[in-house]
Amino acid sequence: MDREPDHTHAGPATQTPDAPPERSFEEGAEAAPPGVRVMEVVRWILLLAVIAAAFSSVHAYVVFARGQDAPSARRGARYFCPMHPQITSDHTGECPICHMALEPMPEHAPAPVPVPGPASPPVPAPTGAPSMRPAGVSASAPKAETTPSPPPPAAPPDTTPITLALDRTQAIGVRTALVERRGAPGSIRATAAVEVPEQGRAEVHVRAPGFVESISVRDVGVKVKAGEALAAVYSPEVLQAQHELLTIRSWTTPSASPSDASAPPPTAIARKKLELLGVGAATVDRILATGQPIRAVGVSSPISGYVTRKDVVLGSYVMPDKVLFEVADLGRVYVVASLYAHQLAGVRAGDEATFTTPLLSGRSFATRVELVYPEVDLATRTARVRFRIDNGDLALRPGQFGTIELRGKGAEALTIPMDAVVDTGRSVYVFLAEDGGRFVARSVELGASIDGRFVVESGLQEGQRVVSGATFLIDAESRLQASLAASSRGP
């Protein structure tokens, strides 16, 4: 009986229909998540856009740089940026730096300020064509056969000519004024005050210590005469000198005659001592006539005038250094005015003047310059000018204010408004207003002032127009552009 072959180890076991299928763990590509392909497309699109933008920027810069370096681009430029004059174009647009709208270029536009950047070889200019140079460097020009004109005055330091459009000029309120010739100052007006002359003052002192026993003048402002008693003072030293005088006289008999007729009397020394102590000659004669000393000797006024100061009371102890009274003669007074240094140029001693005061409406006092004080006040930068006025009717009083008017005697001169002058301390200049909105700084030398205007000694000509309003803004813009030009040129 034949046996069936055994297939147990002949190969892999055959699965039965009821057994579960075995899982496969072989490596292979997995399915991509949804949306990945869309993201890849978007990424490539963004990368291409960035590359295109970079290429466009580089191309625009190269074209712009070539246009700035080429002389033909400068000749064809019709628009520029007011804030960055080096930016020019032949069509309207906006500045790539500040994004301001380009404005039409005036007829006389300033040379563009070079933009700092990487060095590049200069573009040679064709023969006969003007070459582009940095601002501030003039190109050589063919010699003219006509007579050369005189060189223009040197510009002030740290300034450069600027050009402004009409709308900007109106926006900042630029005003101009003519350089015109005017006559000599009709007057120089200044505030002045009435003062008492130094030689019209007198102080009353005692010459020996003592006590005030009576006062004749008790109020300030009282008019007194020369020699009039103001107070009586008891002084032990003066009383002792009176006793010495009377004693010496009693030793001398009237019948005795001196051996020398020309010799002074024995009482001369004692009499002189009393006079040196402030006792008047009339008082000494009265002492000798009565034979009795005077207890309280009077103190009199040395001049005629008005008592302007009283510093004594009844019973006070006074010393020689104490001022008892002050008397002022107001028959003549001083009028003192303060003038600035530039106003003193035409003031001389003897110049005619007129003084008026609001307290005396309709009345004026004719006078002349008596003295120009040699020093200038450091605080006010003014010098004092003195006038003398007769004041017999006492119309003017010390401390009273008024106006002094000096009459000028000079010839006509060029003048400009005071607001047009820029004084930096190192230089004095103005801005000339030229055609096309161009403003150029010009150094000037100034003289005296005439009714709110300065006399121009040199630097300007009659008929020129200078900036008289918004001068500070024009000066600031000029200095800013000059600084930018200097920084771009480097050391």
Average pLDDT score over residue span 162-166: 90
Q: Are 485 and 135 in contact (CB under 8 A)?
A: yes
Q: Are 454 and 416 in contact (CB under 8 A)?
A: yes
Residue 333 has pLDDT above 90, yes or no: yes
Pick the CATH number of 162-184+412-489 from 3.40.50.720, 3.60.15.10, 2.40.420.20, 2.60.40.10: 2.40.420.20
Residue 185 has pLDDT above 60, yes or no: no
Count of all residues that appear for the chain in the document: 491
Q: What percent of the chain has pLDDT over 70?
A: 75
pLDDT digits (tens, 9 = 90+) for 241-292: 999 999 988 887 555 555 555 657 778 888 899 989 988 888 898 998 898 9
In the DSSP assignment, the letter for residue 420 is G
The answer to whether 466 and 453 have CB atoms below 8 angstroms apart is no
Decide if pLDDT at 240 tops 50: yes
Identical fold for domains 162-184+412-489 and 205-252+268-326, yes or no, is no
Terminal-residue alpha carbon distance, the chain: 122
SS3 content of the chain, % helix, strand, coil (to 5): 25, 30, 50
The reported pLDDT for the residue numbered 109 is 47
Q: Are the C-beta atoms of 475 and 193 separated by less than 8 Å?
A: no
Q: Is the pLDDT of residue 74 over 50?
A: no
Name the percent of the chain lying above pLDDT 90. Answer: 32
**Predicted pLDDT at 447:** 79
Q: What is the reported pLDDT for 93?
A: 83
Question: pLDDT-derived band of residue 457, with 50, 70 and 90 as boundaries?
Answer: confident
431: left (phi over 0), alpha (psi -120 to 50) or beta: beta
The residue with tokens 């899982």 is 23
Taking alpha carbons only, the member of 372, 378, 359, 361 closest to residue 406 is 372
Structure confidence by residue, pLDDT tens digits, 186-224: 568 889 999 998 888 899 999 999 999 999 998 898 999
What secondary structure letter does DSSP report for 346? G
* Cβ density class 154-171: b for 16+ within 10 Å, e for less: ebbeebbbbbbbeeebee
Phi, psi of 278 (to 5 degrees): 95, 5
441 vs 156, higher pLDDT: 441
Interval 455-466 mean pLDDT: 90
pLDDT value, residue 53: 87
For 86-100, 167-181, 245-259, 387-401, which range has the lowest pLDDT when averaged over its residues? 245-259
For the chain, state the CA radius of gyration. Answer: 51
CA distance readout (Å), 109 to 82, 113, 139, 221, 410:
11, 12, 16, 75, 42
Spatial distance between the Cα atoms of 172 and 163, rounded to a whole number of angstroms: 14
User: Average model confidence (pLDDT) for the chain?
Assistant: 79
Give the distance from CA 454 to its chain's centroid. Answer: 15
pLDDT score of 367 more than 60: yes
DSSP category for residue 272: H
When pLDDT is cut at 50, 70 and 90, the band that residue 41 belongs to is confident
Q: What is the per-residue pLDDT for 409?
A: 60
Please identify, in words, the CATH class of the domain defined by 205-252+268-326: mainly beta
CA separation for the pair 98, 81 (Å, rounded): 9
3-state secondary structure string across 244-271: HHHHHHHHCCCCCCCCCCCCCCCCHHHH
Number of H helices, E strands in the chain: 7, 27
Q: Is 144 helix (H, G, I), strand (E, B) or coil?
A: coil
State pLDDT tens for residues 87-124: 888 878 888 887 778 888 766 544 444 444 444 344 34
Question: Considering only CA atoms, which of 185, 490, 475, 211 is closest in space to residue 344?
Answer: 185
Residue 155 CA: distances (Å) to CA of 151, 215, 264, 330, 432: 11, 75, 86, 57, 11
How much is the pLDDT for 263? 58
Q: Which amino acid is at 194?
A: V
CA distance 418 to 422: 9
Domain boundaries, the chain: 70-104, 162-184+412-489, 188-196+330-406, 205-252+268-326
Distance of CA 245 to the CA centre of its chain: 70
Per CATH, is 188-196+330-406 categorized as 2.40.30.170? yes
Torsion sign across C-alpha atoms 389, 393, 397, 403: negative
